[in-house]
Amino acid sequence: MKFMIVTGMSGAGKSTAMNVLEDMGYYVIDNIPPRLIPEFANICMQSQGRIEKVAIVADVRSMMIQADGTAVSAVIKSINDLIDSGSDVSVVYLDADDNVLVRRYKETRRAHPLDLGSKLDIADSVSTERKMLAPLREIADIYFDTSRSSPNEFKKKFRDYFSDNPDDIMTVKILSFGFKYGIPTEADFVFDVRFLPNPFYIPELKKLTGRDKEVRDYVMSFDESQKLEKTIFELADIFIPLCINEGRPSVTIAFGCTGGQHRSVTFAERLYEHMREKNIRARLTHRELG
């Protein structure tokens, strides 16, 4: 089993890292008390293969629970125990310059974890936290400094570092639907293909769907259909790589016709095939076909 311990300075980007890891299939747990890490790890290892990758956030918030000063030692001991058990363990430390962290807290107007219930200002809280986490910084396998990275830049950098194939992280969800049953709210892009000739009015095609070759051949036999498909493919080839670079986990492209049986299904099927040819992970759903 693969375990990743994510730690580091508050405000350095741990929330962003957690979102990326979840998109990559990690089971993520945030802010767990250090003494519970071994117990949680045992539960994961008894999942019979349902959980293969785990990311655990261990930062100053969870360490504040143990006021006797042993929290960092407890985290390090848990890490060593996981390594001794034969698990694949990596420690990731996120950091940023003190002045950058102070500025981020002022911009978001959020209180630093060490500032809650204390008289420390933000700068003192950052300085105190850095001293508390120093032992974890020393044992970290991987170090990220986010001082000069925007959230999207760090997301891409973090994703690219841990993924063998960054393109596999994003899924293109392709959906066909019927307008008379409502527009899908989850769609990022909606293409209305109701202006194309309707196979519903062809007796031998009426009871078939866009999954059938006869219907697809009929829909795509018109110049308008071929021009529209060419334009959609060209558009998708532009914006999908941009979505991947942004670190988006998915993008939903929907095609709608009147009943969601023929024209929309045809275009959804053809875009799905185009995505597969481009080696982009895609998922196809025909809402009105069940």
Q: What is the predicted pLDDT for the residue at 116?
A: 63
Most distant CA atoms of the chain, gap in Å = 80
Q: What is the predicted pLDDT for the residue at 8?
A: 94
Place of tokens 């596999």: 168
Q: Which residues fall within 8 angstroms of residue 144, CB to CB, at 6 or more apart?
A: 8, 12, 13, 17, 92, 93, 94, 95, 154, 157, 158
Residue 114 · residue 9 · CB < 8 Å:
no
**Distance, CA of 75 to chain centre:** 27
Q: What is the pTM of this model?
A: 0.64
Block mean pLDDT (10 aa), the chain, length 290: 92 92 89 85 85 90 65 88 89 95 87 73 90 92 92 85 67 95 93 96 95 97 97 95 80 96 97 93 91
Q: What is the predicted pLDDT for the residue at 182?
A: 93
Q: What is the predicted pLDDT for the residue at 69?
A: 60
Give the torsion sign (CA, 57, 58, 59, 63): positive
In one letter, which amino acid is 186?
E
Domains defined for the chain, CATH in brackets: 2-163 (3.40.50.300), 168-289 (no CATH)
Q: What is the predicted pLDDT for the residue at 67?
A: 54
Q: What is the predicted pLDDT for the residue at 168?
A: 55
